[in-house]
Structure 1
Amino acid sequence: MKMAIILNIQVYLCMFFAVLDIEGLHNKKEKAAIINDFLRQPGWKNINDVEFINYWRQKYEPRDLFIERVTLYNCDNYIRQATIFLGCSYYHDLKLIFLSLIKLQEHCLHLLNSCDDSAHNCTVTLLTKMFEIIPMAKFMKGALYAIEKYHNSPLNTLTRTRFILSSLLTNIQEDESLLTTLRISSDSTRDVLETIAKILFARRLELDEEKLFCQLKYLDFNSLCNIWNMEFNDLRYRGKYQEFFIFLSDKIKNLILTTIRKKYIELGFKYDSSTSETFLLGLPPTNVKEDIAQKFTINFVQNTNEVNAQEENQQHDVECELKDDSVILIEYPKGMAPFNKYI
């Protein structure tokens, strides 16, 4: 009898600690409040390039992020959905930017093979764009990590679980060391173009591996290129452009700036230059346009001209404008100054 009582007590203790362990999987109210406010930032409603995401063999549409209020019971699930959803949206932008860089590389090579004197300037422009995607990758990775930090089991701490875009964004940043060694001269232009082609090919392969998470809205890049070609020809006819690579460079720059604005600044991410980390503020939604334009500057492109606020390609869901009357100052983050050594 005494033994039976002891066994019963042990069983009850096991059940008690099991319940505690299960309840411990829930998140905290403070974190749930931060994530709830984060997902109520107006910028989330403006991300329209992802049709749905795949998470635990279930499909989630963007609207699923806003159906319920985030609580300590569903917080982890919403965090993971938000991470993958934003990662898929970044995937869309990276796909566009890489395809644009590849087209620019091909154009530079065509100029070189044609013995065109502008091949050098084209290659310098291409290398500049390669450097400009490095801080963008830093912001993207920082944003994804900033969301996951509130999860009970952040993806960056799980060695057996794939973290969307993490490896690719890390590799883009590590490309900086190789790109810095490149020198462009009359004898080295072809080698530089071939090196960049190899980098772009490798990153495109890595990017394609991430599509298992994402179902994007249809993007016809060939049609987009045709539109760009017609636009360029029209501008050249009116005497506004002399070189196609300048036109492509501006397109890539606008894609990068728009990505940072719409999917970093307007989502409420903040960059701490002293620690080079991205974080979320536990604040309610604000007037993003006023708050960002007045108080927040991202260190990204130095000596850039004002971005053309009228560019837009709605047909292909390519946002190429900054919908704000004010000019946003973009600077490089600490330790990521622009490079001129290769010229």
Structure 2
Amino acid sequence: MFSLKLVKFSVLVLYVILYTKAKYATKKQTDQIDKLLMYSGWKNLNVVKYVKYNHLKYYLKNLIETPTHRTLCLTKVRTLTIYLGCKYAKVTNNLFLIIINSLKMCTKNKNKNNLFIYTEGFIKIITILIFPIATLMKGAMDALNLIHFLPWTDFKENSCNHYIISPLLNEIKDIFDKLNQRTLSRDDISTYICTFKTIYLFSKNIIEELKYETELYCEFVPYNRNYLWNEWIQEYKAIIKHDKRLDFLKFLTRKFKDYIKTVIIENYFQLGFKFDPITEETFLPLPNELIIQELELKATDEEPPTLLQIETH
């Protein structure tokens, strides 16, 4: 009886050992990571001191300079995905803090026409500018994450293997859909009030969730969370000293465009990510592909077609 129990226990231990045996990366996976880290943009992700993963600290400089070994490649994929998530969390935080601060300014001026203009303006900013950058950021994280044989996208959102900020980027798609399903009528001010509150509360929720998620994974270089808003306000004040006709919302829209363009260049193309305009998917460079830095986006002065439905009479 004792020997039978011992045999069963031994089989169980053997099963556990075999089942939990580390899965090593392939040469293709290690080459993909090393190729990606050759892009100059990775050296410029200096807003993060280090990231935390499995109770350990990982520094980007070490990850870049250390050749990727098969035994450590999958951990490297995880930590680089977290680094990317931390950077994109800061970008997202900047965007929605500016929306919150701008909407607060609007509420101080209890003008019905002001409500119309700001609500329409920020729907356009979210649908035409913020939604596309959120799509690119999630695409970059997913492409990197898919190098792992067990990507985080395969886990449920409430599992212990949490995919940093990915659910939040999906929420931006939800607000994008919600805003585009609504019809605003200037004959019915309640449609504007409801949409205005939706944008404000959604933005506050994003900020709160970002704070929680980044505390788990990211150690940022200390910075003022409102630094970008403060810079823009000072710039606007300096401009209107000479041109009092400049509308604040027009100024703000231009600043959003410039900031998002910079993010796409520096934190997407210069990190090696590629975009397929046909499938609208992000993919990684091939190991044997020449490194071509994408320094410019195609500039156009034309406004993209609006997705906003507004009834005017």
Report the TM-score range of the alignment, normalised by the length of the smaller protein.
0.7 to 0.9
Amino acid at match of 1:121: I
TM-score scaled by structure 2? 0.83
- Structure 1 pair 76–239 and aligned structure 2 pair: CA distance change class (3 A): same
| Structure 2 partner of 1:313 | none
Q: Measure how far apart 1:37 and its partner are.
A: 0.5
Distance 1:20 1:207 in 2: 35
2:46 pairs, out of 45, 48, 63, with: 48
Distance 1:27 1:201 in 2: 40
Distance 1:272 1:69 in 2: 29
| Structure 1 partner of 2:154 | 157
Q: Measure how far apart 1:18 and its partner are.
A: 5.8
- Structure 1 pair 227–273 and aligned structure 2 pair: CA distance change class (3 A): closer
Amino acid at match of 2:131: I
The answer to whether the 8 A contact 1:38-1:268 is kept is yes
The answer to whether the 8 A contact 2:94-2:226 is kept is no
Higher relative contact order (CA 8 A, sep 6+): 2
Paired-residue identity, %: 25
The answer to whether the 8 A contact 2:179-2:195 is kept is no
SS at match of 2:51: strand
- Structure 1 pair 204–184 and aligned structure 2 pair: CA distance change class (3 A): farther
The answer to whether the 8 A contact 1:38-1:285 is kept is no
Aligned residues between the structures? 294
Q: Measure how far apart 1:236 and its partner are.
A: 0.4
| Structure 1 partner of 2:239 | 235
Q: Does residue 1:340 correspond to 2:298, yes or no?
A: no
2:135 pairs, out of 123, 138, 144, with: 138
| Structure 2 partner of 1:189 | 192
Amino acid at match of 1:51: K
Q: Does residue 1:125 correspond to 2:121, yes or no?
A: yes
The 5 Å alignment of 1:1-343 reads 22=21, 25-111=23-109, 113=110, 115=111, 117-131=113-127, 132-159=129-156, 160=159, 161-180=161-180, 181-183=182-184, 185=186, 187=189, 188-211=191-214, 212-222=216-226, 224-239=228-243, 242-283=246-287, 284=289, 286-289=291-294, 293=296, 303-304=302-303, 338-342=306-310
Amino acid at match of 1:210: E
Distance 2:203 2:298 in 1: 29
Distance 2:227 2:210 in 1: 21
Distance 2:150 2:163 in 1: 12
TM-score scaled by structure 1? 0.76
**Residues 13-50 of structure 1 deviation map (CA, whole Å, 9 limit, x = unaligned):** x9799679736x00100111011110111111122211
Gaps of 5+ in 1: 1-6, 305-330, 332-336
Distance 1:59 1:110 in 2: 45
Q: Measure how far apart 1:60 and its partner are.
A: 1.4
- Structure 1 pair 20–220 and aligned structure 2 pair: CA distance change class (3 A): closer
**Residues 73-107 of structure 1 deviation map (CA, whole Å, 9 limit, x = unaligned):** 22111111110001000011111111011112222
- Structure 1 pair 32–223 and aligned structure 2 pair: CA distance change class (3 A): closer
What RMSD, in angstroms, separates the aligned Cα atoms of the two structures? 3.0
Amino acid at match of 1:219: Y
The answer to whether the 8 A contact 2:97-2:226 is kept is no
Amino acid at match of 1:183: L
SS at match of 1:281: coil
- Structure 1 pair 217–141 and aligned structure 2 pair: CA distance change class (3 A): same
- Structure 1 pair 38–184 and aligned structure 2 pair: CA distance change class (3 A): farther
Amino acid at match of 1:152: F
- Structure 1 pair 103–152 and aligned structure 2 pair: CA distance change class (3 A): same
